[in-house]
Structure 1
């Protein structure tokens, strides 16, 4: 059994019809999993909303940047490099962080493998800037959370992309988080 953490709210982060990061990326994966031969091996979970996710985000991102994202979203539009911000983006990005933290909880507290299907994606965002379609660096936030709550000493982040996850560079001198160089 594997837990997949997903919400249809992730589809509400709008990037514009010409942007390469689209909601259909998730709907195609979800549809395929639900109709696959392993569908009965999946426990679908909705991300929680009860934790103080801003506190967790502030461990990686500056308060100024978080407020800038919130402001762009409230006014209905904003852009950091290739990362679009729409009216629902701040709320959806916070939900994505919650989903990643739920994934950590599922692995460490329940002992079950988990996979998070979320958008916007989350490994390129820098401390003070969205980048690479990412608003928050979910990977770094989840790694720090895992080290804090778990009985683990190290975390590995496998960054499988065309280029390295700039957001995970925060760990370049961190001895408890391992990031292989591709």
Structure 2
């Protein structure tokens, strides 16, 4: 894959005991060093104007000033340092560049994956939360529409937490389809099945809140039965994957049972979906807080695009997941 990376993203330091540590990117790079055909590309940082395209201008000014004054606890979980603003712009810039490269034709072994931090999918229009300051995927999606002549963008968020910020930013728009598979009841407590969009965006939001313990077969069924037909009907120009790896069975802050191989299966399905819809495809890093499983998850996604065929799930769709899937098939306005 074509990985986007810049050392600036290491400079955001929320403190020695914070789970969203610079060591996350270091662990990914160590893991990728053992694998074949890894390349890294830098990117220009996003600008304040890029941020204001999806965030409230007053909020952008407040968070920039907060960092310039030394940072601190924006909320109990979301901690900034003096260098956080620069890192947030760098992270969003990597997401923009991955989207640009995908729409310019980078695919197959060159499929872009931006390795930025801080993550972004919890950042709402006018606030930081959940370790996130600027919404990287939202900035990239808006950039695709405003600057790269994309008419429609689909965002699939497989992080274990619901991407409330991305959903909220595009909730009343019909040019961005947002879909999330996440753990029911986990932070931030959003992402219910009845959150489907409003106004021009009615039906353009799809939430699949699986119960704790859901694994590879459940996630694959969610993609096959819900995401694929919905995105195919939406017909996007580009698909962005908000790729968190904290649904892994060994991640310390979730209770899901996705395996490392499961992320390869999801990546393979996204590649097939992009091919079937003739859409560009790019990945944007979100969460993942076990250093080993985060590195392995990114590594198996890379290997999938490098030619390795992932092995199908060895479990069956659980009864609770099947009930949720059937309910969504019956009730979601897009399906």
Structures share a fold, TM > 0.5? yes
Query: Whose radius of gyration is greater, 1 or 2?
Result: 2
Instruction: Report the counterpart of residue 59 of structure 1 in structure 2.
Output: 53
CA distance in 1, matches of 2:149, 2:82: 38
Q: Is the 8 A contact 1:11 1:23 kept in 2?
A: yes
2:134 aligned with 1:136, yes or no? Answer: yes
Secondary structure of the 2:143 match is helix
Structure 2 residue ranges without an equivalent (≥5): 180-206, 209-335
Spell out, residue by residue over 1:124-180, the C-alpha distance to the aligned partner (whole angstroms, 9 max, x if none). 101111011001011111111112233433211111223311111211221111112
Asked which structure has the greater RCO (Cα within 8 Å, sep 6+), the reply is 1
Q: 1:120: which partner in 2? A: 118
CA distance in 2, matches of 1:160, 1:85: 25
Question: Which residue of structure 2 aligns with residue 75 of structure 1?
Answer: 69
- The reply on whether 1:47 has 2:8 as its aligned counterpart is no
Q: Is the 8 A contact 1:7 1:46 kept in 2?
A: yes
Contact 2:6 2:42 in 1 (8 A): yes
TM-score by length of 1: 0.90
Which residues of structure 1 form unaligned runs of 5+? Answer: none
Residues 1-182 of structure 1: pairs in structure 2 closer than 5 A: 2-36=1-35, 38=36, 40=37, 42-49=38-45, 53-81=47-75, 82-112=77-107, 113-168=111-166, 169-180=168-179, 181-182=207-208
- d(CA) in 2 for partners of 1:177, 1:79: 32
3-state SS of the aligned residue for 1:173?
Answer: coil
| Stretch moving more, 66-75 or 147-156 | 147-156
CA RMSD of aligned residues (A): 1.5
How many corresponding residue pairs? 176
